[in-house]
Structure 1
Amino acid sequence: MRSKTWSGFQQQPARRFGVDGVMAVFLRGVAEGFRRARQRRDLAALSDHNLRDIGLTRSDVEGEIGKPFWRA
């Protein structure tokens, strides 16, 4: 059930996560971590010329690929 507030925006009802909901949130987080890891590998594979084209240096890339997969 949704109720109107004084500002006209809709309020969302309080969420209650069951085991399935918690597992879904966890799995989405893991999938996002793997996407980040793949993107960092792809970034590391770019040539210096391609990095300059997108406005990055090799040291920028080294700092990014040194992060663990769970860090944004």
Structure 2
Amino acid sequence: MEGGSVGAGVAVRKSTDRMAKFGDSRAVLPTVGIDIRRSQAATITEGDLILIGAETLKIIGEPMGDALGLVLQCEAAK
């Protein structure tokens, strides 16, 4: 990760393309969801870069905490 100064080797969970519902319609959003333990990336913010393999992703929007406050859920784009 870059920008948040976390450094290399932080474990993340990545999911691609989220489904959004609009009334009776559904749309696939071309974004990437990233879950990061708050203890490993407490300073991550919008605009930070995450490198996963050879792919660089940019955090879009402010990360949101889960119900227990243990995981930051981020939206990212290529």
Same fold per superposition (TM over 0.5): no
Structure having the higher Rg: 1
Q: Which structure's residues are more often strand, by fraction?
A: 2
Please state which structure has a larger fraction of its residues in helix. Answer: 1
TM range (shorter): under 0.3
Q: TM-score, normalised by structure 2?
A: 0.22
TM-score w.r.t. structure 1 length? 0.23
